[in-house]
Amino acid sequence: AQTVTQSQPEMSVQEAETVTLSCTYDTSESDYYLFWYKQPPSRQMILVIRQEAYKQQNATENRFSVNFQKAAKSFSLKISDSQLGDAAMYFCATNSGYALNFGKGTSLLVTP
């Protein structure tokens, strides 16, 4: 079975600073996607960023970028210039067949 591990249950960052959330995964597939989802207190699941495993270039979306290390099966999320609105649960996921396999999440606190 595929597993996704987020080793940091909680992280804290000051406004305007940079924070990196860790994710490792296990898969036997050669082609797959990796995702980071954000869940604010509203409970809505919001896609932050997506990475195709066959692409060597790391995905970037505005202040969010990933460090994708395929051999190490690592997929960390970097948030630059953190804002109060970034406070949320962040989930790492990989596609496992016809659904996604999620990590347990990292709760990000942003302090003024």
Partner 1 sequence: NAGVTQTPKFQVLKTGQSMTLQCAQDMNHEYMSWYRQDPGMGLRLIHYSVGAGITDQGEVPNGYNVSRSTTEDFPLRLLSAAPSQTSVYFCASSKPGLAGRTGELFFGEGSRLTVL
* Other residues' Cβ atoms within 10 Å of the Cβ of residue 96: 17
Q: How far apart are CA 25 and CA 65, in angstroms?
A: 18
Residue 39: which of 4, 7, 85, 74 has the closest Cα?
Answer: 85
**44 near partner 1, judged by CB under 8 A:** yes
Residue 76 is a binding residue for partner 1 (CB under 8 A): no
For partner 1, the closer of residues 50 and 70 by Cβ is: 50
Which span (16-24, 25-33, 59-67, 78-86) binds partner 1, by CB under 8 A? 25-33
Helix (H/G/I), strand (E/B), else coil: 53 = coil
Which of the stretches 12-20, 55-63, 79-87, 100-108 binds partner 1 when contact is defined by CB under 8 A? 100-108
Long-range pairs, 45-54, Cβ under 8 A, ≥24: 45/91, 48/77, 48/90, 49/77, 51/75, 53/29
Choose one: 12-20, 59-67, 74-82, 89-97; the region binding partner 1 (CB under 8 A).
Answer: 89-97
Residues found near partner 1 in the complex (CB under 8 A): 4, 9, 29, 31-33, 35, 43-45, 47, 50, 52, 54, 91, 95-105
